[in-house]
Amino acid sequence: NITDLNRELDLNLPEHQDYQTIGGFVITLLGTIPVKGEKAVYHNLTIAVLDSDARRVKRVRIHMPQQSAAGASSAQSDSNA
């Protein structure tokens, strides 16, 4: 759920009673159930939909930009929605 994802990945995604999962968050953010390949952007995060069906988002990839001592880099995390 969103609370666990925020804690595990040190994110600050909004927690709302209308959704409890990253899939629900993406649906709320886009205003529709996205299809495979669609992306949602929230602040500095890009959330790519890897799998979905007519009723829900099943799997996403979260791209989180990070700064390192050697310059810009990025981190990614796959999450079952």
Report pLDDT digits (tens) over 3-15.
999 999 999 999 9
* Higher per-residue pLDDT: 81 or 64: 64
Indicate the pTM of the whole model: 0.78
Question: Is the confidence at residue 81, as pLDDT, over 90?
Answer: no
**Cα–Cα distance, 11 to 19 (Å, whole number):** 16
Looking at residue 8, its amino acid is: E
Long-range contacts at 66-74 (CB < 8 A, ≥ 24 apart):
none
Q: Is 49:35 a contact under the CB 8 Å cutoff?
A: yes
* pLDDT value of position 71: 45
